[in-house]
Structure 1
Amino acid sequence: MPVSPSPLPSPLPPLPFSAVVSRLRAAGCVFAEDEAQLLLSTAGSPAELAAMVDRRVAGLPLEHVLGWAEFRGLRIAVDPGVFVPRRRTEFLVEQAVALAPPGAVVVDLCCGSGALGAALVSSLEGAELYAADVDPVAVRCARRNVAAAGGRVYEGDLYDPLPASLRGRVDVLLANVPYVPTEEIELLPTEARVHEARVALDGGADGLDVLRRVTAAALPWLAPGGHLLFETSERQALRAVETVTDAGLVPRVATDEELYATVVIGARRGTGRPGRTA
């Protein structure tokens, strides 16, 4: 007798909004309703939605589950393992927008997903964007975001992979350096500690190791009147300012209490092109 073909599995019924919310809330998601709405709007099928909910409940960052993060109104692609751009870092970009001259040359070091550079040049006209990261996974992700902004991404350690032609031409140098002290990595939320690259988090014994390297080599890359901007913690700000001063730059600190953001800005002396007004 001919063998009857096995029946095709029935498609998964759609998960109702309330069921998604309940699963997320049980897993400890504080903003379960908001996350559920994002998952429902992103999933292309009930099966995909169920898989996405499973990954989120298992502890993956929401942005890794969705495949993107919102940053200054942009949808930034974020691949698994790549550092998720934080909302507080939007304050750093705001400071850079105010300082960038027309047609600015922008470099985004330790670029991760490339969110900072892409967001900055989206607010400027005629800007040139270059980005670099030591992590090949981050570089692959950043190329999607930076290419969409008309820029280029290089793989390598800090300034090493950048074109030599950029020396003395950089108007805005963004450096979202890792600044978590090594001993405090284990205190981070699981989403960051387990699912983001350690190289994007670990700043060495006092959290300032990478920052020292960035600032020490910044001056030859900056144009006259150019600026280096990086984020740090409030308790690290004083030592960060000393580091900027030792590198021959003029420091100042900008803070936003609502976002709990601290940004240190180092300016190269000299007359540069006038920046924008905030």
Structure 2
Amino acid sequence: MTPIDLNADLGEGFGRWRLTDDEQLLSVVTSANVACGFHAGDAATMRRVCELAAERGVRIGAQVSYRDLAGFGRRAMDVPPGELTAEVAYQIGALEVFARAAGSRVAYVKPHGALYNRVVHDEEQAAAVVDGVLLAGAGLPVLGLPSSRFLKTAERAGLPVVAEAFADRAYTGEGTLVPRSQEGAVIAEADAVVERSLGLACSGEVVSLSGERVPVRARSLCLHGDTPGAVGLARRVRARLESAGVRVEAFA
């Protein structure tokens, strides 16, 4: 059985405001997608999460976004490719300072929110993000939706790619995520999330919102840190996977 990586979006606060329980989630996940200041996060938060992740042996990833603090990176934006490339590299570089200071490093890159969904289909924006990763200079692996433009573009550019799945998000029949604006886009029932996690890890498929079985072959499973009861749910998911014989470990 293929091992599965558990990743979560962390560091999603700003100043005195905190959204995610970073300390507790870092005791469950194997990879941490750290907000780099464009949709959430600030210097002190980035430093704290990197230190906690390094202490616990959790892999640190740069979660890059459109520059959209007010909209939490979830609003559609049109950013010129050259500007987006520079901003992606900027975010990776900012996080790298804190990761290295903690005795670790940035190990991968994952787009967030509207940017994540945009690069599934938009080849120009996907190429701009890939160029940003290359500009940062480390040849980092990237996380994204299977068969997305983003992963295909990254692979052509020589970057390692890691397919990702979501147990708490509804899928279309084409294997893409149902937009959050649509009813049923987020799976709120904890038991359903746990069982969907097991199905994704063991059989590589998920039932779409319209009832079809959709193949979703993924090496990493995202557990959203901003949902109510996120820590308890993450613990349940990991326990269920391990009890079924699934090895939970960071991707190579």
TM-score (norm 1): 0.32
Name the larger-Rg structure. Answer: 1
TM-score (norm 2): 0.34
1 or 2 for the larger relative contact order (CA 8 Å, sep ≥6)? 2
